[in-house]
Amino acid sequence: MATVDKEIKEQSKKIEKVKKIVKRRAENLDSKDLKQTDISDGPLWRDLDFSHPERCVRIGTLFSGIGAIEHAFQRLKLNHKIVFAGDIEPKCKQSYFANYEIDGENWFTDIRNFDAKKYAGKVDFVVGGAPCQAFSMVGHRLGFEDARGTLFYEFARVVKETKPKVFLFENVRGLLNHDKHRTWHVMHDIFEELGYDVKFRVLNSCDYGIPQHRERVYCLGFKKATDFKYPAPIPLEYKMYDFLEDYIDSKYFLKEKGIKFVTSHKNREKCYTQINGEIALCQKRNQEFNWHGDFVYHPDSEITLSNDEFDEFIFDVRDVEEKYYLSEKVAKYVLAGGTKNFKTSTETDLDIARPLLQSMHKMHRAGVDNYVTHKGRIRKLTPRECHRLMGFKDSYKIVVSDTAAYQQAGNSIVVDVLIALLKQMDITQYGE
């Protein structure tokens, strides 16, 4: 938290200048209504072919993280060259260089010190998402008052200096309504002033093949006017379980305190977490340290009983808070076999859990909810599973600690959404 506060309170002549520019622009906005770009009603993007697969697309990325757009190009097997990339986080550089080919001289650390003029006319596609905490609905929402919010101007500056044929700017959906829509209005106007045909829309990753709720603004700028429309959603063919690993190290299982929090009535009611969900909650960069997010329930089994490695993650129900116990009256209802017209199972301690319901705190009959009479285990997602739920295939090398890996996955762009955009716009037509 200290680091975040420092970033927010950071002051410099450059930041103060940006704030004054933003304030002046916001006060002089016209009244035009900015509407999201339409969804395509033509051929589905999955069925589209690239028009010039032989061309090389020269890409430059800002706030590069772990290279979502680079991985998208890899997955599509498209001919491409990374012209420049950079990130202020040292461990991102470690991950990036382990997975992509780039000359060290073309990597920058701080975008505020990055002179992009030498790349003018040498890059076709510029991609980046300035840090979103300044506009996030779960952040401080200070926008341009936050030092991180002013980094948008650095993105715009690099676009101005490099003059790409197309750019992609990604951010949280909260950006659109921040400061009564004025923040986005200012950004949109700046992109247009740079000479680009601007398109934008909020897309959710679960509409493009990834079972995770993650809504983001995807803004595209085209140097030449275009009738581009955003890719249409496709049916979700996978559930979160399809992305899970077969063997999980014991360190990913929650201990007693974590289990009590995750399964508590208050936590379930406020939807801080979900257990065995079909569509993952939005990945968080700090999921290594808290109990919010997605968890997987592993019912007790013979393996558990014979494997000492998991002993510390098993606790007797006598140690569970009293409020989780069923009173004698409720127990009779829950474990009743039903009535003349309604029959239900009384089975508990199932080998495979029934679907966990958001309303489970209401304590339905045993045939609807899950009841454990002795032992059970709950675990969080592993770094590899988080990367899978961001669209990174297992070919992507995780070379950093779990802490850094969780943060990097949580900060990334969902690769599958990028793939849909690349196919819809036929990115190869902008190559050389």
Which pLDDT tens digit goes with each residue over 195-211? Answer: 999 999 999 998 999 88
Tens of pLDDT, residue by residue over 384-418, are 878 888 899 999 999 999 888 888 888 899 999 99
pLDDT at 92: 95
pLDDT digits (tens, 9 = 90+) for 207-246: 999 888 888 999 999 999 999 999 999 998 888 777 777 6
pTM of the model: 0.72
pLDDT of residue 259: 65
Task: Write the CB contacts of 318 (distance below 8 Å, at least 6 apart in sequence).
Answer: none
pLDDT for 334:
56
Q: How confident is the model at residue 299 (pLDDT cuts 50, 70, 90)?
A: low
pLDDT at residue 40 is higher than 60: yes
CA distance 430 to 168: 13
Categorise residue 99: left if φ over 0, alpha if ψ from -120 to 50, beta otherwise. Answer: alpha
Q: Give the pLDDT of residue 175.
A: 83
Q: Is the dihedral of CA 285, 74, 430, 427 positive or negative?
A: negative
Q: What percent of the chain has pLDDT over 70?
A: 59
For 353, other C-beta atoms within 10 Å of its C-beta total: 16
Catalytic member of 132, 206, 219, 282: 132
SS3 243: helix
Distance, CA of 61 to CA of 138 (rounded, Å)? 26
- H or E element, residue 304: helix 302-306
Domains parsed from the chain with CATH numbers: 2-234+394-430 (3.40.50.150), 246-381 (no CATH)
Contacts of 78 (CB under 8 A, 6+ apart): 50, 53, 57, 422, 427, 428
Rounded CA separation 266/365 (Å):
21
Residue 55 pLDDT exceeds 90: yes
132 is catalytic: yes
The pLDDT of residue 263: 67
CA distance 130 to 10: 16
Residue 350, exposed/middle/buried by CB under 10 A (0-12, 13-18, 19+)? middle
Q: What is the pLDDT of residues 102-113, one digit of tens each?
A: 999 999 998 888
Give the least confident one: 96-110, 186-200, 275-289: 275-289
What per-residue confidence (pLDDT) applies to 398? 95
The overall average pLDDT reported for the chain is 75
